[in-house]
Amino acid sequence: MVKDALEALKLPPLLKFKNGKTVKDIAGFERRRAELKDILQREVYGYLPKAPEHLTVETKEEESESFLAGFGIYRSLVFHCEIDGEDATFPVTQIMPKKEGKIPVFVCINFGTDIVHKYLPLEEIIHRGYGLFVIKYQDVAKDSADFRFGMAKYLCKSRRALSAPGKIAMWAWAAMRVMDYLPRFENVDLDHVAVIGHSRLGKTALFTGAMDERFRYVISNDSGCSGAALSRGKEGETIENICDRFPYWFCPRYKHYIGKEHEMPFDQHFLLSLIAPRHLMVGSAENDLWADPRNEFLCTAAANEAYALYGMHGLVHHDAFPSPDTELAEGDCLYHYRRGGHYLSRLDWNAYMDFIDKKREKE
Ligand code: GCU
């Protein structure tokens, strides 16, 4: 079923170089990786702004006595990025469990303006032994067409260029700055860093992990259109819908593909394949038809071609769209499909942590 469904969509080939030659091995895919990154930046998200000249991090506040009944440490950090000689800043919240040994961490790009947030079951995450670096996305750049405020004014001087970065690229850029800083913590397990986001921030997490190989786990929760779902044959939200309401998430060129999905020289499996050979986790919810769970599943399966080159399985599935409340967790990738609606719930967090636990145990 999966093979036929993918064939019927006539996706642009993942493993063909621009010059028409076939990608045959790992070395070839590493060269293809550069082409894939380029096409997605040029056509969809815009080119990632360059890294800052210097990064320093200031601790504004720390609570290590009684936070989370004494089981956690809270720090409010300010990231100072030197860009063209100017000091551009954004805040990050760090929460770590108090425990010995190396700690796996999530870089979570989140909606909330406060650490107590519906999408962040904090105590559960801490008690399972995970640390968190939370970026509240609008502290980096406003979720609007305005590019004058926050980091946006440093990261994009003009929106006139067709491949100028959109807001997704800017939020992703901030997550990469957190990654730059992690090696300075002795107790962070740098081999087990995950980037996670929900919905528009799931698209952001995917773009972050696709562009930055330092993230071992890349988690897209209900990201849908222009995230984990294939655009060809998509139900629910289309490129037209998303460019109508949120054109500024993308580069100006993306809107040229409205109604022309079948002509696009790429599709979202290009994005997901860039996560190989690391671990991709895609979560969908049964009632989230706007995101299109089926196309999220098919897209995850389509990335298997890249994993195969590394001698890996990618997503192990049963050649059928799974029924709800199913985990496809046997391979290198996870497809997590639960009942209910569009939400980043504790059920989702637990599925992702179970998967990471399993991978860590094997090492
Ligand atoms: C809108 C948008 C989606 C997006 C979602 C969200 O529904 O159309 O593409 O994922 O917002 O971020 O909550």
Q: What is the mean pLDDT of residues 4-29?
A: 98
Q: What is the pLDDT of residue 130?
A: 98
| Residue range of the domain that includes 267 | 2-361
Q: What pLDDT shows up at residue 159?
A: 83
Q: Tell me the best of 110, 196, 223, 237 to mutate to test the pocket of ligand 1, counting ligand atoms within 8 Å of each CB and taking the most.
A: 237
pTM for this entry? 0.98
Helices (H), 82-199: 122-127, 137-140, 152-155, 167-181
Count Cβ neighbours within 10 Å for each residue of 164-188 and write b for 16 or more, e otherwise.
bbbbbbbbbbbbbbbbbbbeebeeb
Whether pLDDT at 158 is above 90: no
Q: In this structure, which residue's CA is closest to atom 8 in ligand 1?
A: 242
What's the CA-to-centroid distance between 120 and ligand 1, angstroms?
Answer: 18
DSSP 247: G
Asked if 171 contacts 142 with a C-beta cutoff of 8 angstroms, the reply is no
Number of domains in the chain: 1
For 225-255, what is each residue's pLDDT tens digit? 999 999 999 999 999 999 999 999 999 999 9
Task: Flag the least confident range among 190-194, 220-224, 337-341, 359-363.
Answer: 359-363
Indicate which atom in ligand 1 lies nearest the CA of residue 223: 10
Collapse the DSSP code of 297 into the 3-class scheme (helix H, G, I; strand E, B; otherwise coil) and give the result: helix
List the structure tokens of 320: 């059928």
Sequence-ordered list of residues with C-beta below 8 angstroms from that of 72, at least 6 positions apart, any chain? 95, 96, 97, 98, 122, 123, 126
Ligand 1 center to 68 CA (angstroms) = 32
CA dist., res. 175 & res. 67, Å (int): 25
Query: Which of 45, 200, 223 gets mutated to test ligand 1 (max ligand atoms within 8 A of its CB)?
Result: 200
| CA count, 13 A, side-chain hemisphere, 21 | 9
Alpha-carbon distance of 251 to 164, in angstroms, equals 5
Overall average pLDDT of the 21-28 stretch: 98
- Distance (Å) from CA 23 to ligand 1 centroid: 34
pLDDT band at 148 (very low <50, low <70, confident <90, very high): very high
Alpha-carbon distance of 321 to 150, in angstroms, equals 42
**What percent of the chain shows pLDDT beyond 90?**
97
Which of 204, 290, 343, 344, when mutated, tests ligand 1's pocket best, judged by the most ligand atoms within 8 Å of its CB? 290
The residues pairing with 319 across neighbouring beta strands, listed in sequence order, are none
Of the candidates 11, 30, 10, 24, the one whose C-alpha atom is nearest the C-alpha of residue 213 is: 30
Atom of ligand 1 nearest to the CA of 201: 12
What is the 294 CA–ligand 1 centroid distance (Å)?
17
Pocket of ligand 1 (CB under 6 A): 199-200, 224-225, 237, 242, 290
Can you list the positions of beta strands (E) in the chain? 54-63, 72-83, 86-97, 103-110, 131-136, 188-198, 217-221, 279-285, 326-328, 334-338
* C-alpha–C-alpha distance, residues 284 and 16, integer Å: 29
Contacts of 93 (CB under 8 A, 6+ apart): 74, 75, 76, 77, 115, 132, 133, 134, 136
**How much distance in Å is there from the Cα of 162 to the middle of ligand 1?**
23
CATH number at residue 27: 3.40.50.1820
Dist CA 362 CA 322 (whole Å): 26
The pLDDT value recorded for residue 5 is: 98
Judged against a pLDDT cut of 70, whether residue 113 lies above it is answered with: no
> What separation in Å is there between the alpha carbon of 204 and the centre of ligand 1?
12
Q: What spacing in Å lies between the alpha carbon of 343 and ligand 1's midpoint?
A: 11
Pick from 109, 119, 167, 199 the residue to mutate for probing ligand 1's pocket: most ligand atoms within 8 Å of its CB: 199
